[in-house]
Amino acid sequence: MDTSAGRQWSVFYAYTAWTLVGVVALLPLGIALFLDLRIPVAAASAPLTVAVLCGQIALGAWSAWRAMEAWAAADAHSERDRWGIRQVGNLPSDLSFLAAVAPSAVIAGTSLLGDADPRLLIMSLSLVITTAAVRWRWEIGVGLAVAFAAVSALLLGSLPGALSSGLLVIAAVLTARLSLWLAAMVRELDDAREALAQLAVAEERLRFARDLHDVTGRDLSVIAVKSELVAQLAEREDPRAVEHGREVAQIARASLTEIRALVRGYREVDLATELRGTASLLRSAQAEVTVYGASEDVPARHRGTAAWVLREGGTNVLRHADPSAVTITLTSGGVTLVNDGAPGDSEVIEGSGLIGMRERLGAGSMLTIRREGGIFTLDVRFDAPGGTR
């Protein structure tokens, strides 16, 4: 399984894999109940055949698991079906599949040529069909189930029993195929969620680039023109060169101040707008966002810092976590972001994002981070006693 996949896919992957294993392993036992076959009695009369059948059931379950692993590891750009979903069940046979099919020959020999109950062969064939249905197209699986019903009628000499067994096998084949198809849909949705999160981060970077361009573009253009004018005036020894030179220096200092304000997050922003944007950004990544408090709860002198913390904190959650729930709390004393996308209890190693956030906070503010039971908390306190940058 792809370890980079999200939580939704990981959970559904395990569910689908165990469903396939259960269908393959339990179908022969269901056939036995339909045909009123008592396994202990059959084992007493044909112990070798029953032992081979038990081994085949284990091999079939193993083959189904291996097929699920192979399909999940397939390239994202693999063949698609008519609905645009990644094609499922089109896998080449491998050793596990061949190992699951081979015992049927032994059971067929002991059932047709020996004294073993032919119903054991029917159980074995049902397992072969469901194992094949996991790897091959559903049309093939249904076709084999129809052929299975015909073979069962010949072996049993009873049409009702054969029809019941055939319908049960068809139901098992369709269950396996629908499980794989649903897993494919969940995988597509999970890939879309990941792409959406990456797009949101990219949009945030573009927004910052646009802001930086707006701040510096005009000033740099004016500086370039003024500098050329100063050079020309200086060549003619025109006294106005001094005046224009001072204007260039003043524009450069003002531009530098604006750039520093932008980088440090002190450029004036609307906290309410940033709160709505951060919540929308996280919800786009399929996270349930709960907000406690409002922008009005934060003192006016700290709203710029709070808005910047929300922007940076929300972006970091998307980049480094896979949350299903995020809580944002705004109070007069600070801002807190809590998400459940950080598994484990190990100590948090601060990367460049957290280090930069800590450095950019104003004097007297304090940033605290912790991870407990998979819950990651980012807490920023304003005017904290003993607070550091």
Q: Tokens representing 252?
A: 């450069």
- Which pLDDT belongs to residue 10? 73
The side-by-side arrangement of strands in the sheet containing 325-331 is: 288-292, 325-331, 334-339, 375-381, 366-372
Which tokens in the block code for residue 44? 């007493």
What domain range is 232 assigned to?
199-263
Band the pLDDT of 89: cuts 50, 70, 90: low
DSSP code for 303: H
Whether residue 387 is contained in a domain is answered as: no
Same domain (yes/no): 87, 232: no
Query: Do 39 and 159 fall within a single domain?
Result: yes
Torsion over CA: 171, 172, 177, 179 (sign) = positive
The secondary element (H helix, E strand) that includes residue 288 is strand 288-292
- Cβ atoms of residues 204 and 311 within 8 Å: yes
Residue 4 scores a pLDDT above 50 = no
Mean of the per-residue pLDDT values of the chain: 76
pLDDT at 5 over 80: no
Pick the more confident residue, 338 or 320. Answer: 338
Range name among 69-83, 140-154, 165-179, 246-260 with the lowest pLDDT average: 69-83
Final residue of a structural domain among 224, 239, 263: 263
What is the pTM (predicted TM-score) of this model? 0.52
pLDDT-wise least confident of 113-122, 123-132, 302-311: 113-122
Residue 358 is assigned to a structural domain of this protein? yes
Both 177 and 227 in a single domain?
no
Q: How far is CA 210 from CA 129, 204, 248, 299, in A?
A: 59, 10, 24, 28
Which pLDDT score is estimated for 170? Answer: 81
DSSP readout, 22-56?
Answer: HHHHHHHHHHHHHTT--HHHHHHH-HHHHHHHHHH
Element (H, E) at 367: strand 366-372
Does the structure show a pLDDT above 60 at 78?
no
Distance CA 265, CA 242 (A): 35
Closest C-alpha among 345, 172, 381, 203 to residue 278: 203
362 part of a folded domain? yes
Q: Per residue in 145-203, pLDDT tens?
A: 777 777 777 777 777 777 777 788 788 888 877 887 787 777 777 777 777 777 777 77
Q: Is residue 388 part of a domain?
A: no
Last residue of one domain, picked from the residues 247, 263, 279: 263
Of 153, 174, 195, the position where a domain reaches its end is: 195
Identify whether 281 is part of a domain. yes
Q: Flag whether 2 is in a domain.
A: no
Pair 66, 157 in one domain: yes
What is the chain's percent helix, strand, coil content, to nearest 5? 65, 10, 25
Residue 389 has pLDDT above 60, yes or no: no
Average pLDDT on 359-384 reads 80
Give the Cα separation of 8 and 322 in Å (integer): 10
Q: What is the largest CA-CA distance in the chain?
A: 119
Of the candidates 162, 159, 160, 93, which has an alpha carbon nearest to the alpha carbon of residue 121?
A: 162
Q: Do residues 97 and 134 touch, judged by C-beta distance below 8 A?
A: no
Q: Are residues 45 and 120 in the same domain?
A: yes
**Apex 175 CA angle, 172 and 177, nearest 5:** 110
Instruction: Return the exposure string of 225-250: e unless at least 16 CB atoms fall within 10 Å of the residue's CB, then b.
Output: ebeebbeebeeeeeeebeebbeebee
Is residue 386, in this structure, part of any structural domain at all? no
Is the same domain home to 84 and 68? yes
Residues 363 and 285 in one domain: yes
Provide the CATH number for the domain around residue 206.
1.20.5
Backbone φ and ψ of 331, nearest 5°: -135, 175
- Distance in angstroms (rounded) separating the CA atoms of residues 121 and 107: 6
The two tokens of residue 375 are: 């819950």
Report the alpha-carbon angle 348-380-358, nearest 5. Answer: 60
pLDDT for position 90: 61
Total domains in the chain come to 3
Q: Enumerate residues 6+ apart whose C-beta is below 8 A from 346.
A: 371
In 306-326, which positions are buried (b, 16+ CB within 10 angstroms) versus exposed (e)?
A: bbbbbbbbbbbbbeebbbeeb
Does residue 116 lie in a domain region?
Answer: yes
